[in-house]
Amino acid sequence: MEIWSINVMVLVFVALPSFQAYAYTKNTLNIDCGATTQSEDNTTYLRWETDDEYTKTGNNEFLVFTNASFYPMKTLRSFPIGDKNCYNLPFEPQAKYILRAGFYYGNHDNLLKPPTFVLEVDRKLSVTVTTSLDHVPFISTIESQQLYGKDTYKLMQNHTALYLEKRINYGANETFPERLSIDADEFNRIWKPEEIPSYRSLTPGFDVTITGWATHSENYPPFAVLWYAIEAYNSSESIFLPVTFQEKKSQAAYFVFYFASFVYYPNITSRTVSIYIDGEEKVLTEIPDAYKGIFPVVSIYPVNTTNGTVNVTISAVEGSPLPPLLCAMEVFTTMSEVVSKASDHDYINFSLVLVFFLVLSLSLSGL
Ligand SMILES: *[C@@H]1O[C@H](CO)[C@@H](O)[C@H](O)[C@H]1NC(C)=O
Ligand SMILES: *[C@@H]1O[C@H](CO)[C@@H](O)[C@H](O)[C@H]1NC(C)=O
Ligand SMILES: *[C@@H]1O[C@H](CO)[C@@H](O)[C@H](O)[C@H]1NC(C)=O
Ligand SMILES: *[C@@H]1O[C@H](CO)[C@@H](O)[C@H](O)[C@H]1NC(C)=O
Ligand SMILES: *[C@@H]1O[C@H](CO)[C@@H](O)[C@H](O)[C@H]1NC(C)=O
Ligand SMILES: *[C@@H]1O[C@H](CO)[C@@H](O)[C@H](O)[C@H]1NC(C)=O
Ligand SMILES: *[C@@H]1O[C@H](CO)[C@@H](O)[C@H](O)[C@H]1NC(C)=O
Ligand SMILES: *[C@@H]1O[C@H](CO)[C@@H](O)[C@H](O)[C@H]1NC(C)=O
Ligand SMILES: *[C@@H]1O[C@H](CO)[C@@H](O)[C@H](O)[C@H]1NC(C)=O
Ligand SMILES: *[C@@H]1O[C@H](CO)[C@@H](O)[C@H](O)[C@H]1NC(C)=O
């Protein structure tokens, strides 16, 4: 995993019947801020565009000395002038989007002082970088991806943004790519591989990075993610996952659990697990053998993040011959109406410090 990049993801449900910013829209948009030429990403096969069309302010900059192996991070746009600098993006009304902004501070201003700044998605759905007092704000990448399918992130409320806390590909080790190609993930999501020593990692044993996605499952999970899982060593043991949130206050969280059982057991065609949140049983779900083509996805919303932690427990139901397993989990916190979000992130030797805010305005509905 590379700590130099911070990717913040939100899902924005936009209901703007009378608002049309652009005559055209794009399902997938990848902006390499500050770049002078477009490029094709050899890992994901996505095309990175320059930002000329989307912003009128700021300076193009190129990081000469950088360890940023994710090449779109090598260019950035900095905004030395102005209180607010906007990117106008071609969002479509009444649609859901994943929006991800990347920031890589490579000491481009020679100050050894990474800026803090505010990023807003305002009521016209432009992305705005707001200057703080003594820093020059900048942005390295903006990615937006429309989420289609009527059941996609279906518990999401109108006029809401979800802030991504975690998206974990359990059972995959750190050599497994976080970014999959467009042949493997319909929605350009970043799945962090994670093994947990106290559980068995189930791995496919062959290359699954271009295997498409489960079109009949909620949120279209990539098979590359479903093929991996963690599994308890026996059916009387539970999978216990304490989830900590960036903010300690209580918020409404959105959980998604992805299941698939690719391991063949003679004479056993399914297992049933219960999902407990803070000790309370929420959902019972049957996980059939993968050959049946059913890959259960369980969404739970809202979950109260009392004091910034939530304990997830997944147990096999009584009498189940097979232990519980889990392929992947996504955790979001809800940002409804006017909500701002701040978080400090890791940084390596000045490469990055970031305070990120996202604001989704209340007046969205009033336009
Ligand atoms: C992608 O691959 C092509 C052909 O191998 C190469 O010319 C190009 O430089 C690569 N692009 C990047 C950004 O690495
Ligand atoms: C970049 O990587 C090299 C070699 O791994 C290391 O010596 C150097 O300190 C790194 N530079 C920064 C700014 O992280
Ligand atoms: C959300 O918006 C859609 C489309 O405008 C509408 O049909 C639906 O009733 C709204 N849902 C809620 C819970 O307000
Ligand atoms: C990581 O996983 C791959 C595929 O499952 C495996 O081939 C490789 O040996 C693993 N590497 C480590 C360090 O565990
Ligand atoms: C199940 O696994 C746990 C943890 O590995 C162990 O403590 C327990 O004895 C096992 N139970 C059975 C019935 O094997
Ligand atoms: C969460 O629980 C706390 C205490 O149990 C309560 O005060 C708070 O209102 C709840 N928050 C939400 C978002 O439900
Ligand atoms: C498994 O099923 C086969 C027939 O499909 C049967 O012959 C065998 O006895 C079964 N094994 C067990 C352990 O139930
Ligand atoms: C979560 O689990 C930890 C460790 O078992 C425990 O200390 C904590 O009280 C639990 N929190 C909740 C909210 O149940
Ligand atoms: C949350 O934190 C407050 C203050 O630290 C404490 O009084 C309260 O008992 C905690 N609630 C839970 C459910 O842990
Ligand atoms: C970053 O590197 C410089 C020199 O290479 C060193 O003096 C400084 O302490 C490092 N900063 C951090 C936060 O590690």
Residue 33's H or E segment, with its range, is none
Q: Name the residue of 203, 228, 262 whose CB sits within 8 Å of the most ligand 4 atoms, as the mutation to test its pocket.
A: 203
Burial (0-12, 13-18, 19+ Cβ within 10 Å), 112: exposed
Stretch 26-55: mean pLDDT, rounded? 87
Percent of the chain clearing pLDDT 70 (strictly above): 71
Please compute the mean of the pLDDT values over residues 348-364 and round it to a whole number: 28
263 DSSP β-pair partners: none
Q: Give the pLDDT of residue 144.
A: 81
Distance 307 CA to ligand 6 centre (A): 9
pLDDT per residue as tens digits for the range 111-164: 655 555 555 555 444 555 555 455 667 778 888 888 888 788 888 876 677 778
Question: Which of 108-122, 196-210, 331-345, 350-364 is the least confident region?
Answer: 350-364
Per the prediction, the chain carries an average pLDDT of 76
Binding site membership of 201 for ligand 4 (Cβ less than 6 Å): no
Q: How far is the CA of 315 from the centre of ligand 8 (A)?
A: 16
Domain 165-334 has CATH 3.40.50.300: no
Q: Average the pLDDT over each of 117-121, 236-240, 292-296 and give the range with the smallest value.
A: 117-121
The span from the CA of 4 to the CA of 7, in Å, is: 10
Any atom of ligand 5 within 6 Å of the Cβ of 233: yes
Cα 16 to averaged position of ligand 9 atoms, centre (Å) = 40
* Residue of 178, 193, 183 whose CA lies nearest to 69: 178
pTM above 0.95, yes or no: no
Which of 31-35, 65-69, 189-193, 201-205 is predicted with the least confidence, judged by mean pLDDT?
Answer: 65-69
Counting ligands in written order, which one lies closest to the CA of residue 150?
A: 3
Q: Is 37 in the pocket of ligand 1 (CB under 6 A)?
A: no
Residue 69 CA, distance from chain mean position: 20
Quick one: which of 334, 326, 156 has its CA closest to 257?
A: 326
Query: Which ligand is the nearest neighbour of the Cα of 233?
Result: 5
174 C-alpha to ligand 8 centroid (Å): 28
Is the model more confident about 177 or about 6?
177
Q: Residue ranges per domain, the chain?
A: 7-149+335-366, 165-334
**pLDDT value for 240:** 98
Tell me the range of 129-133, 170-174, 188-192 where mean pLDDT is highest: 170-174
Ligand 8, residue 307: give the atom nearest the CA: 13
Which of 81-85, 114-118, 309-313 shows the highest mean pLDDT? 309-313
Q: Whose CA is nearest to atom 3 of ligand 10?
A: 349
Ligand 10 in reach of 267 Cβ (< 6 A) = no
Between residues 270 and 92, the one the model is more confident about: 270
Ligand nearest to the CA of 323: 5
Q: Could you check whether 7-149+335-366 and 165-334 share the same CATH topology?
A: yes
Higher pLDDT residue, 212 or 108? 212
Q: What is the DSSP letter of 105?
A: -
Name the fold adopted by 7-149+335-366: Jelly Rolls (2.60.120)
Instruction: Give the per-residue pLDDT at 147.
Output: 83
**Which residues does 353 contact at the CB level (< 8 Å), separation at least 6?**
105, 114, 116, 344, 345, 347
pLDDT greater than 80 at residue 7: no
| pLDDT given for residue 337 in this prediction | 37
Give the model's pLDDT for residue 356.
Answer: 33
Report CA(42)–ligand 1 centroid distance (Å): 6
Choose which residue among 240, 307, 311 to substitute to test ligand 8 binding: the one with the highest number of ligand atoms within 8 A of its C-beta: 311
Q: Are 354 and 342 contacting, i.e. CB atoms less than 8 angstroms apart?
A: no
Q: State the ligand closest to the CA atom of 254.
A: 6
Pocket of ligand 6 (CB under 6 A): 250, 252, 304, 306
- Report which of residues 110 and 330 the model is more confident about: 330
Q: Is the pLDDT of residue 210 over 90?
A: no
pLDDT at 16 over 60: no
Q: Whose CA is nearest to atom 14 of ligand 3?
A: 158
Distance from the alpha carbon of residue 264 to the mean position of ligand 7, in angstroms: 14
| pLDDT, greater one: 3 or 112 | 112
